[in-house]
Amino acid sequence: MEKNEVDLPQKKVAAKPVHSGHRERVKNKFLKDGLDGFEQHAVLELLLYYGIPLKDTNPIGHALLQKFGSLSAVFDAPFEELIKVDGVGKSAATLIKLIPQLCRRYQENADKDKNWIFSYDEAGKLLINKFIGRTDEVIVLMLLDSRNRMIYCDVVNEGTVTTANIYVKKIVKLAVQYNAAYAILSHNHPSGYCMPSKQDMNSTMWIYEALKTVEIKLIDHVIVSDSDFFSMAKSGIMSEIFDSELDTE
C-alpha cells in the first residue's frame, strides 16, 4: 500500500438468517391448505414459532418426536420432561401443554347445544370429549332428565374410580340438585385399555345403589381410553342393573 492511500471503512452488511422467509412460507402453507399435509415434526415446528421466536424450531420438533415418540405423546408429556429437551424453554412447554386442553374446551363448547341423548353411542361420543388432554384418571358424571335431555356433564372427581366412597356423596348431591331422572358415570383409563376391571364393576354397583336411594337410575358406566370407549350397559356385562333404558343403535 502506498503512503498516501487511505483505508476506507468497509460497509457492514447484516448477515441474512439462514432460514429467512421460511417461517412465512410455512405459515402461508398452513393458511392455504391446513395441517393435513404437514408431517408431525412440521406441526411442532409451526406451533413452536409462537413460543420460540428467534430459533430454528425444525430440529426442536424432531427432538421432541425422538424423545416422546409421537405428536400426541409430545402433547401429553409432563411439563418437567418437555423442558429437558434442548431448545424448549418454559414458554414453549407451556404452549405445548395448552394445546390438548384448548382442544377439549373447543370440543365441549361445540357440543354445548347437543343436549338430547338417545343412545349409548351418543353418550359415549360426547363423554370422550371430556377426557381430551387428560393424563390422570378423572370421573365424569352426566345427568339426564326424564326426556333424556342432558342437564349436567362435568368432572366430579380426580382420582381412581376405586375410591368411590370419596365422590359418591357428591354424585348423589348433584343428581338431586339437578332433579335428574337418569345418570351416566364415566371415567378414563390413561393406560390405554378401556375394558372394565373388577373394581370398576364394584364401584358401578355402589353408585347404582346410592342413586337408587334417591330414585335416580344409573343407566350406564362408560370407560374411555384415548378415542375409544366401552359402554357397560351396551355390552350387557352388568345386566342385573343395566337395561335398554336408552335405545341402542
Question: Does residue 114 carry a pLDDT above 80?
Answer: no
Span 18-42, pLDDT tens digits: 456 899 999 999 999 999 999 999 9
Which range among 11-20, 61-70, 174-183, 196-205 shows the weakest confidence by mean pLDDT? 11-20
113 pLDDT tier (thresholds 50, 70, 90) = low
Distance separating alpha carbons of residues 163 and 199, to the nearest angstrom: 9
Q: What integer pLDDT is reported at residue 5 of this predicted model?
A: 44
8 pLDDT tier (thresholds 50, 70, 90) = very low
Distance separating alpha carbons of residues 8 and 33, to the nearest angstrom: 51
Residue type, 14: A
Question: Does residue 83 carry a pLDDT above 90?
Answer: yes
Q: What integer pLDDT is reported at residue 232 of this predicted model?
A: 96
Span 211-244, pLDDT tens digits: 999 999 999 999 999 889 999 999 999 999 997 5
Distance separating alpha carbons of residues 43 and 66, to the nearest angstrom: 14
Mean pLDDT across 106-134: 85
Spell 197-208 as b/e; 16+ CB within 10 A means b: eeebeebbeebb
Question: Does residue 249 carry a pLDDT above 70?
Answer: no
Q: Which helix (H) or strand (E) holds 174?
A: helix 164-177
Q: What integer pLDDT is reported at residue 133 of this predicted model?
A: 86
Domain 114-235 -> CATH class:
alpha beta
Span 189-202, pLDDT tens digits: 987 788 999 989 99
Domain 22-108 -> CATH class:
mainly alpha
**Domain boundaries in the chain?**
22-108, 114-235
Pinpoint the alpha helices (H) of 8-113.
22-33, 40-48, 58-68, 71-76, 79-82, 90-110
Span 148-190, pLDDT tens digits: 999 999 999 887 655 545 688 899 999 999 999 999 999 999 8
Rounded (10°) CA dihedral 131, 197, 248, 183: -60
